[in-house]
Amino acid sequence: MENLTLNISKTLGFVDQSAINTLLTKANESNAKLHHKTGKGNDFLGWINLPSSITTEEIADIEKTAAYLKSVSEVVVVIGIGGSYLGSKAVLEALSHSFSTLLPNQKNPHIVFAGQNIGEDYHYELLEMLKDKNYSIIVISKSGTTTEPAIAFRLLKKNLEEKIGKVAAQKRIVAITDASRGALKQLATQEGYKTYIITDDVGGRYSVLTPVGLLPIAVAGFDIKALLKGAVDMEKLTGEETPADKNPASVYAAVRNALYAKGKTTEILVNYNPKLHYIAEWWKQLYGESEGKEHKGIYPASVDFTSDLHSMGQYIQDGQRNIFETVISIAKPNHSLNVPEDKDNHDKLNFLAHKAIDEVNKMAEIGTMLAHVDGGVPNIKITLPKLNEYYLGQLMYFFEKACGISGYILDVNPFDQPGVEAYKNNMFALMGKPGFEEATKKILERID
């Protein structure tokens, strides 16, 4: 079985190999800190050996619950925010048929998401869509009090109980939450919901390979064993015993930090397959929330090429030179389709006739990379042999491991998110939450 590969050759005109080697030494030390739990945030490292530590019994239980939800549901609503939905959303978008909602006779439920925003129209329209559907709920929250998912769960729990009755609804709700604390855990115990645990040592953005991600992915009909196998193999490939220069996670972390030291403060994750759009959204949360601290960190952005070459391409080619790109390339598509010949050739494209669509896409990929490098934008390339569960498992563990290493190179705690609390506290004060009375007075004085 092939592995994900990393190519840094298009960065070497921008950073010296000696600078990368120095950072590879730091990457090696950082990887050791992750494995020995001696670095910052070491109480949130349960994800390190997660792929290899999940048992066959745990997988079987997740698959059993998924089978039940599939048997009673046309739609399954996954309630969560941040890491509680982005990982599963990313995998589902990458693996699903692009037009699955329009295909007849779907054997698996449609997965939709709630609690990732506070949009009133969004939630109204969600309830409107569910009116004539058999549906179930997967609610994900350690505390059960995070505003966005808590509001969504209130709405959907009430709606489902009114629709099918409280007893029946209890069988259609699965809670993924804390082992012993929190409002959702208390409610799940009281109501008798099927429950899965988010362990204290796994943060939300590192949770895709726990039931948080695995259950929705299994409900959608995808192979979670293959996903985990890919992650297990990447866990081995990026282990402590692997020399830093042979460890793709260490090399990626070292090179991106070498570029950062040269003033490349924005990293753009690029794909040439629209199915990878939400992989980029998941990646942005992982790196933005992990590294953006103490006024430090590479800003994570993303584009979908070739679409965005007709919008953002100009800026990337000729704008500020504080950017670098990391390209995710899929070596072989899952389907084949050739450009047809046209005898009139009005569009002047007969030179492409009989070529595979993917060949044209690959030429766009190579041509764009060379143009951007010539324009002062270094490029890192990550290649997946195919787009399937196994290689997505490799990719996601690779990014998680590299993120931990990179955060330690940057000398921040990659596993907390203190800045996220600022907006929450202001919102609570504005909404008049009990205990925030003094803050409410102060914040009202600041509003024009």
Give the residue numbers marked as catalytic: 289, 310, 424
Neighbours of 410 (CB within 10 A): 23
Judge contact between 65 and 194, C-beta under 8 A.
yes
Q: Which of 27, 216, 248, 49 is nearest to 140 (CA)?
A: 216
Structure tokens at 17: 């190999």
Report d(CA 437, CA 448) in Å as an integer: 19
What DSSP assignment string belongs to 117-180? Answer: ---HHHHHHHHHHHTTS-EEEEEE-SSS--HHHHHHHHHHHHHHHHHH-HHHHHHHEEEEE-SS
Report d(CA 22, CA 321) in Å as an integer: 24
Report d(CA 358, CA 245) in Å as an integer: 32
Please count the residues of the chain.
Answer: 448
Cα→Cα distances 94→33, 203, 242, 248, Å: 32, 23, 30, 22
Cα→Cα distances 200→31, 176, 308, 404, 416, Å: 21, 13, 39, 17, 13
Find all residues with CB under 8 Å of 337, minimum gap 6, and list them: 356, 357
Pairing relationship of beta strands 5-7 and 379-384 according to DSSP bridges: antiparallel
Judge contact between 370 and 9, C-beta under 8 A.
no
Find all residues with CB under 8 Å of 225, minimum gap 6, and list them: 59
Locate the DSSP E strands across 278-392.
299-304, 323-330, 379-384
- Report which residue type is found at 225: K
**Chain centre to alpha carbon of residue 132:** 31
